[in-house]
Amino acid sequence: MAHGGGCGCKLSPAVLSSLLSNVSEAQSFKQLLVGTETGDDAAVWQVDERTCLISTIDFFTPMVDDPRDFGRIAATNALSDVYAMGGMPIFALAILGMPLGKIAPETVRQILDGGRELCRVAGIPVAGGHSIDTPEPIYGLAVNGVCAPSALRRNCEAKAGDVMILTKPVGVGIYSAAFKKEALPPADYADMLASMTMLNSIGAELAKDSGVHAMTDVTGFGVLGHGLGMARGSGLRFVLRSEAVPLLPRAIELVQQGFVTGASGRNWESYGAAVALPADYPLWRRQIMTDPQTSGGLLVACAPDRVDTLLRRVRDAGFPSTSVIGEMHVGAAGIEIV
């Protein structure tokens, strides 16, 4: 019932940039610490000297057939934006669009139940929401969270010399493309689902470490798109070791068989000019780097002397694939793949 799915149905970075190009960057509200200026994960409003309110909204069409799984994935993805800012969610509101007469009420209830289930895991309620009749199924959450001003982490405050850590394996879009063609075995579906429903709550813990300078989550624009956003916002060059990027077990095999989402190509068309590739860089590897991730991992910029401690902390929290994938350097803002 959906033309696209998950974060792969997001507008391309180029289209989004054109839509926001005439939005004033003037911060006329002193308490608005984070708005649209760097394409960060959430808006942040400073309530008082001890508290910041983090607010975000995220919804999409389904990328799986099971309604409960769809609800769980969408909720995990929406909650991630708060964790990526260094905050803890406090409550959520549901966004629901369903094609009336085409989907049974019981199926819709399962979607909502899946979202509430993940919110319970996060320790928050779904306190309300809004629903409309739509041509395609849509579900997601508006999430509010809080953090101390000192714990706020943006995507634009990486420092030269920072080491870049990625906490989840890449390849969700590739797996979903195979799933749509009925070419993804149950075990691989389970791997994909486990990744997409793993809460990024470790972000709130990482933000308490002064050696963590910047964070974002990797979603629809892929590793390259979100890494580029961090590099541009920080005015640095992200030297990315693509062979170090953690992958789902069959990502290489499946992408070489041609399982690629349309969003992967749109991503490259949007920002490829800012990415320096080796002369012999294979197309399939580039497609992995632009692969849209639904509920992907955190991309963390941290001081070199904190890397070993942070890697242990994140892996111990249930992210065994966590890896160092590059460094930030002084230079023209962009990405250089080595």
Write out 65-126 in H/E/C secondary structure.
Answer: CCHHHHHHHHHHHHHHHHHHCCCEEEEEEEEEEECCCCCCHHHHHHHHHHHHHHHHHHCCCE
Instruction: Select from 151, 180, 209 the last residue of a domain.
Output: 151
Mean pLDDT score, 119-130: 98
Using only C-alpha atoms, the chain has a radius of gyration, in whole angstroms, of: 19
List Cβ neighbours of 185 (8 Å cut-off, separation of 6 or more).
none
Claim to verify: residue 265 and residue 136 sit in the same structural domain:
no
Per-residue pLDDT, averaged over 224-238, amounts to 97
- For residues 319 and 173, state if they share a domain: yes
Average pLDDT in the 86-111 region? Answer: 96
Phi and psi (nearest 5°) for 241? -95, 95
CATH of the domain at 110: 3.30.1330.10
259-309 pLDDT, tens digit per residue, is 999 999 999 999 999 999 999 999 999 999 999 999 999 999 999 999 999
Domain-embedded: residue 157: no
Residue 240, domain member (yes or no): yes
pLDDT of 20 strictly over 80: no
**Residue 295: per-residue pLDDT:** 94
Predicted pLDDT of residue 22: 61
Structure tokens, 36? 């649209």
pLDDT, tens digit, for every residue of 47-66? 999 999 999 999 999 999 99
More confident residue, 223 or 15: 223
One domain, residues 168 and 255 = yes
pLDDT in tens, 315-335: 999 999 999 999 999 999 999
Indicate whether 185 and 330 sit together in one domain: yes
203 is a domain residue: yes
pLDDT band at 11 (very low <50, low <70, confident <90, very high): low
pLDDT of 8 higher than 60 = no
Examine residue 326 and state whether it is found in any structural domain, yes or no.
yes
For position 280, what pLDDT does the model report?
93
Return the number of other C-beta atoms located less than 10 Å from residue 14's C-beta: 13
Q: Is residue 33 part of a domain?
A: yes
CATH number of the domain that residue 224 is part of = 3.90.650.10
Point out the domain boundary residue: 126, 151, 176: 151
Q: What pLDDT does residue 252 have?
A: 98
Instruction: Please check whether residues 220 and 320 belong to one and the same domain.
Output: yes
Q: How many other CB atoms are found less than 10 A from the CB of residue 187? A: 10
Pick the catalytic residue from 7, 9, 156, 302: 7
Task: Tell me which residue range forms the domain holding 69.
Answer: 6-151
Q: pLDDT category, 37, cuts 50, 70, 90?
A: confident
- Residue 18 pLDDT exceeds 90: no
131-145 burial by CB neighbour count: b if 16+ within 10 A, else e? eeeeebbbbbbbbbb
Residue 10 pLDDT exceeds 80: no
**Whether residue 248 has pLDDT greater than 70:** yes
**Residue 70 included in any domain:** yes
Cα distance between residue 87 and residue 205, in whole Å: 9
pLDDT tens-digit series, residues 135-172:
999 999 999 999 999 999 999 999 999 999 999 999 99
26 — pLDDT class (breaks 50, 70, 90): very low
Instruction: Count how many Cα atoms sit within 13 Å of the Cα of residue 188 in the half-sphere of its side chain.
Output: 20
User: In the structure encoding, which two tokens stand for residue 39, read together?
Assistant: 């394409």
Is it the case that residue 25 has pLDDT exceeding 70?
A: no
Q: Is 60 exceeded by the pLDDT of residue 9? A: no
- Does residue 1 lie in a domain region? no
Percent share of the chain, pLDDT over 70 = 92
Residue 158 φ/ψ, nearest 5 degrees: -65, 155
Same domain (yes/no): 19, 104: yes
pTM: 0.92
Task: Answer whether residue 195 is part of any domain.
Answer: yes
Q: Please name the residue that has the structure tokens 């994935």.
A: 73
Do 324 and 180 fall within a single domain? yes
Q: Do residues 190 and 250 touch, judged by C-beta distance below 8 A?
A: no
Question: Is 220 in the same domain as 317?
Answer: yes
pLDDT at 28: 75
- The confidence score (pLDDT) of residue 93 equals 98
The pLDDT mean for the chain works out to 94
Is position 156 annotated as part of the catalytic site?
no
Number of domains in the chain: 2
| Same domain? 83 vs 176 | no
Considering Cα of 131, then 113, then 181, then 259, what sign does the dihedral take?
A: positive
pLDDT band at 6 (very low <50, low <70, confident <90, very high): low
pLDDT band with cut points at 50, 70 and 90 for residue 16:
low
* Across 186-195, average pLDDT: 97
| Residues 135, 217 within the same domain | no
Q: Which of 96, 123, 151 is at the close of a domain?
A: 151
Give the model's pLDDT for residue 5: 58
Q: 98 and 172 share a domain?
A: no
Distance between CA atoms of 285 and 290, rounded to whole angstroms?
9
Q: Do residues 48 and 125 both lie within one domain?
A: yes
Which phi and psi (to 5°) does residue 48 adopt? Answer: -155, -170
Q: Where are the beta strands (DSSP E) in the chain?
A: 32-34, 43-48, 51-60, 88-98, 126-133, 138-147, 163-166, 212-217, 237-240, 275-276, 298-302, 323-329, 334-337
